[in-house]
Amino acid sequence: MCAALACAWLAPVGPGRAAVPAVDQWPALSRANRWMMMEAEPSMASPGGGQAMLEICRRGKRVGYNGLVLWDSNLWERDLPLAYMENARLLKQGLHDLDFTLVVEMCPRGQAIAKWSGDWSMLEPRPIDPHPEEKDYRYLCLAHPGVFQVWEEQLRRAEEIYHPMGWLLQYDEIRVAGTDVRCRQTNMTPGQLLRWHVQHALAMVRRVTPGRVVGVWSDMFDPYFNATTRKYYHVNGSLAAAAGAVDRDVLIWSWNDKPESYPYWSQRGNKQIIPLYFDHDDLTPAEERGLIQNAVRYPGVVGWMYSTWKRQYYELESYGQSFNPFFTLAAAPARGAASLRRGQ
């Protein structure tokens, strides 16, 4: 079954445009990455949305932020909104003017895959008795090789629009896995399937956009978080085999509050960004400050990110003033940055 999956993934995906040559030069990964995450919908779908997002970035620039992580589900729809391309042009030009770097979140794990392809078998079936936190996101089937074709098509278009410094792959909180017939027929645990899947996704991204930083959220690959034998929502079996599934050249968005996670990734050689804020869902600013004070002790912790799921930016300045001083070497390149930027 593994061989069949690999052959299907390697099969031609039909005519497609080659990766666009580098035309945008973004600031590279440094030892002082002070980023903000912005969910771009509905802003990027509306006239003037790009300028509205830039105004938030300008606020951030004044207190030391130097990068944007763009979470934009518009990029996962086949038809872009009419206002999108002009917003993207204005946003990209404005980010260059601010000397910001740009990372774009891609490879959605949910129903955007099925909407793009029209094939809902690319998703796991909805649980009969869904957990309240399952949220009906509809999660990708890790054994369906067609997922890679969808992701490649989406990636190629995002590359043409932004040519970003890097990509953040959306392998986080996969709460349904290994439940359909296709997954069970592989005789692999969900952790083994996830390991296989992320390694092929990384290879695809590096092939299509060589030389870019590629990152993942930490939770599904962290043995101190979700990559364990513990029962995880509707995952049909153990996720333990996914622990450390990514190679050392992958940038880790390390959002676990357990102190064991930071030395784990550091000892493997991975660079780490520490996401904070999260709309105060879990931790107070004082608790987050303790996390940063702990994390910066370890080699490879190269920055932090203001992360909001609710488009809340009223604490952008206070967080910047509090946490940016932990990372003061903005001009110095990160040790090992060349290995992160494969192909250059």
Give 202-237 pLDDT, tens digit per residue: 999 999 999 999 999 999 999 999 999 999 999 999
Query: Which parts of the chain fold into alpha helices (H)?
Result: 2-10, 49-62, 84-98, 112-117, 146-162, 181-184, 190-208, 261-268, 285-295, 316-323, 337-340
Tokens of 115: 């909407």
Quickly state the pLDDT bin for 293 (edges 50, 70, 90): very high
Domain ranges, ordered by start, for the chain: 31-330
Buried (b) or exposed (e) across 300-335, using 16+ Cβ within 10 A?
A: bbbbbbbbbeeeebeebbebbebbbebbeebeeebe
Averaged pLDDT score across all residues of the chain? 90
For 316-343, the pLDDT digits (tens) are 999 999 999 999 753 344 433 333 443 3
> What is the CB neighbour count within 10 angstroms for residue 286?
8
* Mean per-residue pLDDT, 184-211: 98
* Mean per-residue pLDDT, 165-174: 97
Query: Which parts of 209-301 fold into alpha helices (H)?
Result: 261-268, 285-295
**Residue whose entry in the numeric block shows the structure tokens 């035309």:** 23
Q: Which residues contact 279 (CB under 8 A, 6 or more apart)?
A: 308, 309, 310, 312
* Mean per-residue pLDDT, 278-294: 93
Enumerate the β-bridge partners of residue 176.
234
CB 135 within 8 A of CB 152: no
pLDDT value of position 5? 54
CB 80 within 8 A of CB 46: no
Whole-number Å distance between alpha carbons of 344 and 339: 9
Q: How far is CA 311 from the centre of its chain?
A: 17
Rg value, the chain, Cα: 19
Whole-number Å distance between alpha carbons of 221 and 242: 5
Percent of the residues in the chain that have a pLDDT greater than 90, as a whole number? 84
Whole-number Å distance between alpha carbons of 286 and 274: 15
Tell me which CATH homologous superfamily contains domain 31-330. Answer: Glycosidases (3.20.20.80)
Q: List the one residue out of 100, 119, 103 whose CA is nearest residue 111.
A: 119
Q: List the one residue out of 183, 211, 224, 181 whose CA is nearest residue 338.
A: 211
For 67-115, the pLDDT digits (tens) are 999 999 999 999 999 999 999 999 999 999 999 999 999 999 999 999 9
pLDDT value of position 267? 98
Check whether 18 has a pLDDT greater than 80. no
pLDDT value of position 335? 39
Check whether 10 has a pLDDT greater than 90. no
Check whether 20 has a pLDDT greater than 60. no
pLDDT value of position 328? 76
Percent of the residues in the chain that have a pLDDT greater than 70, as a whole number? 89
For 40-55, the pLDDT digits (tens) are 989 999 999 999 999 9
Check whether 15 has a pLDDT greater than 80. no
Check whether 286 has a pLDDT greater than 60. yes
Q: Which residues contact 128 (CB under 8 A, 6 or more apart)?
A: none
For 106-152, the pLDDT digits (tens) are 999 999 999 999 999 999 999 999 998 888 889 999 999 999 999 99
Enumerate the β-bridge partners of residue 161.
none
Transcribe 11-42 into DSSP letters: S--SS-PPPPPP---PPPPBS-EEEEEEE-TT
User: What is the four-CA torsion angle of 103, 79, 176, 262, rounded to 10 degrees?
Assistant: 0
Whole-number Å distance between alpha carbons of 178 and 142: 8
Q: List the one residue out of 222, 308, 306 whose CA is nearest residue 259.
A: 222
Q: What SS3 class is residue 168?
A: strand
pLDDT value of position 137? 84
**Residue whose entry in the numeric block shows the structure tokens 């290994």:** 178
